[in-house]
Amino acid sequence: MAKMANKQLTQKQERFCLEYIIDFNGAAAAVRAGYSEKGSAVAACRLLTNVNIQAKIRSFKNERSKRTEVTADRVVQELARVGFANIKDLMRWGNKQVTETDDEGNEKVIGSIPFVEFNDSDFLDEEQSSTVSEVKIIHSTTGSTLSLKTHDKLRALEKLAIHTGVLELTPEEPEAPDGQKVEFHVAQPVDEMTITRGK
């Protein structure tokens, strides 16, 4: 094993290491490094279990971390912001009473309508606003629709669990696909409001 650790990598192996740290997709990195697309998954598995490859990948990751000042701690902190985010920091919802006043000036409740209200971004701190990935306003003849999309909470928790050792990801395991994001659509007036989940 010690001899293997001192073995010089081939140019193709080193290229694989550089490609791998771009997106951590072993099969795709193997293809970009010049390995056969048909056997890319098998090649990636073999390469990633090689101690020399593992050492070179760690070396490239450390170099990039110093170069960009992006440390593992900063990554974990950002993942934690998304993973432990509370949607109530961004919005509130419920039922609003509808009242009417009679001829004598007496006010009475005649029903209720659902409502969703987004919190003003000026009152969100950096941690809360960092959980939002997209905000759009769409105007139409029937009103305006405000769309707010958050980062994927479950995906962030999964990555956080791997970073902290709660879950272990082995080279043989396929990379998990991106999960769904949550999107809220609020149409005006309030009684036309809809809330949907989208990709």
- Enter the pTM of the model: 0.55
pLDDT tens profile 98-121 = 888 888 888 888 888 998 888 888
177 and 124 together in one domain: yes
3-state class of 127 per DSSP? helix
Residue 196 has pLDDT above 50, yes or no: no
Q: Which of residues 70, 91, 117 is at a domain's end?
A: 70
Specify if 64 maps to a domain. Answer: yes
109 and 167 together in one domain: yes
27 and 106 together in one domain: no
Whole-number Å distance between alpha carbons of 142 and 5: 67
Whole-number Å distance between alpha carbons of 186 and 14: 51
144 and 101 together in one domain: yes
For the chain, the domain total comes to 2
Residue with tokens 């961004």, as numbered in its chain: 90
161 and 106 together in one domain: yes
174 and 100 together in one domain: yes
* Tokens standing for residue 91: 């919005």
What's the domain range around 64? 2-70
pLDDT at 169: 60
Specify if 198 maps to a domain. Answer: no
pLDDT tens profile 24-57 = 899 999 999 999 999 999 999 999 999 999 999 9
pLDDT tens profile 114-162 = 988 888 889 999 889 999 989 888 888 888 888 888 999 999 998 888 8
CB atoms < 10 A from the CB of 78, how many? Answer: 18
63 and 87 together in one domain: no
Beta-bridge partners for 132: 150
pLDDT tens profile 55-90 = 999 999 888 888 888 777 888 889 999 999 999 999
In the chain, what is the greatest distance between 2 CA atoms, to the nearest angstrom? 96
